[in-house]
Structure 1
Amino acid sequence: MHIAITGNIGAGKTTLARKLSEHYKWDVLYEAVEGNPYLADFYEDMSRWSFNLQVFFLNSRFSQAQKIRSMHYQTVVQDRTIYEDAFIFAKNLADTGMMEARDYQNYLMLYETITNTIQAPDVIVYLKADLPKLRRQIQKRGRDFEQSITDEYLLNLNGLYENFAQHYIDGPLLTIDVNNLDFESNPEDFGFIIQEMNKTLGYR
């Protein structure tokens, strides 16, 4: 199976992907953050680097999708989905004027060409987190380039995530409200997520 974790910056996707892979003995594919040649520049000047960054992430996600397809007999948990690139991050940049309309249309044509060749995840897990939770997590992990992210930017993304979750029709989507959960440190909180995962996956 292909299990994908989705959610805003700081929602806990990477941590959950790691813990699920350890619990279920699944393979895991992480988002290309470390070593990303555009990310730090993007947070300094979003308008200048938005298209470059989104194309980099789109290519990275497509490469992961191809790898997942080649792993026929293994279950893989993926940190973030290709859908978020187009319908949340790139859309937000276009909506707020930080990506030119012609660049966004060019991006969408490339996105559609790519997604026509790949399959949707078997299950998407959406980690729902409000602004205070996101802020605490961003501060906790201490990436310098993320400290300049504005509240408005995060709130815009949250709105687009909610819209995406409500209208997603390509497979099961499990929503987990993580505002009051500490699944990294609290075994009971992680156990709750495992219970929800088992119900969604049909495990007993």
Structure 2
Amino acid sequence: MKRFIAIAGNIGVGKSTLTSLLEQRLGWEPFYEAVNDNPYLADFYQDMRRWAFHSQVFFLSRRLQNHRQILEHPASVIQDRSVYEDAEIFAANLYEQGAIDPRDYSVYRELYQAVSAVLPPPDLIVYLRAEVEILQKRIRQRGRDFERDISRDYLEQLNRLYDEWTARFTLCPVLTIPTDRLDFVANPDQLNQIATLILDTLQEANREPSSALAQNHPSVRS
């Protein structure tokens, strides 16, 4: 049976790493997040208030295209960041920070809600979570220049939005995995536990409504 899971979580939490490892462990096709082709990105960093709406609409458009490609793909798929995170986390954060004005944000939300209402969801969202201190450590370790100036406040804001979103999300089951004490790159046993937990949750999802699953997440041993 074809499966479609999405790996969600804050910057530096390990989404792409887990996607790659699960590709090897499960033999599923990975779909990675791509940000470099956004024609508004450079302008956005120079003038966020002017270009935030344009940039977010572009990201949403590309994510929707990616989602459609996944649905049409014949094999099981692991997606690095879901379509929902663009709207529920990053656009919401820009709006709260005043970078998107209320009129533009209302249009954006109407577009997102109209599309997401008819978009088949993943079978499972795997929410990787970590405290900000851990995120900052991992961001420093991977050494990406464009991430050097990410502030603690920004990561805290995103963590809050992620926690609120996953708590109310009901389109599919959400499996929350705290990763503060995990290193699934160096510890194959942890990776195996995560893979087994994902497969078990998918199997359970065929028998229970997503609301019942959302509050029942076994832990991975560190």
TM-score over 0.5 for the alignment? Answer: yes
Change (3 A) 1:128 1:141: same
Q: Which residue does the alignment assign to 1:115?
A: 116
Question: Retained in 1: the 8 A contact 2:129–2:177?
Answer: yes
Q: Which residue does the alignment assign to 1:55?
A: 57
Provide, for residues 46-68 of structure 1, a one-character-per-residue CA deviation record: whole Å limited to 9, x for no partner. Answer: 33432122112101110011101
Q: Which residue does the alignment assign to 1:195?
A: 196
**1:114: Cα distance to partner?**
2.3
Structure 1 segments unaligned to the other structure (5+ residues): none
**1:134: Cα distance to partner?**
1.0
Higher relative contact order (CA 8 A, sep 6+): 1
Change (3 A) 1:186 1:33: farther
Structure 2 segments unaligned to the other structure (5+ residues): 205-222
Amino acid paired to 2:29: D
SS in 2 for 1:200: helix
Change (3 A) 1:145 1:48: farther
Change (3 A) 1:16 1:38: farther
Q: Which residue does the alignment assign to 1:46?
A: 48
Change (3 A) 1:132 1:37: farther
Question: Retained in 1: the 8 A contact 2:123–2:202?
Answer: no
Question: Retained in 1: the 8 A contact 2:88–2:161?
Answer: yes
Provide, for residues 98-148 of structure 1, a one-character-per-residue CA deviation record: whole Å limited to 9, x for no partner. Answer: 211112112112212322341111000000111011112212222212111
Q: Work out whether 1:12 is the aligned partner of 2:11.
A: no
Q: Which residue does the alignment assign to 1:173?
A: 174
Tell me, in whole angstroms, the C-alpha distance in 2 between the residues paired with 1:179 and 1:44: 33
**1:40: Cα distance to partner?**
5.2
Q: Which residue does the alignment assign to 1:148?
A: 149
Q: Which residue does the alignment assign to 1:22?
A: 24
Change (3 A) 1:9 1:122: same
Amino acid paired to 1:65: H
SS in 2 for 1:202: helix
TM-score (norm 1): 0.91
Tell me, in whole angstroms, the C-alpha distance in 2 between the residues paired with 1:132 and 1:49: 30
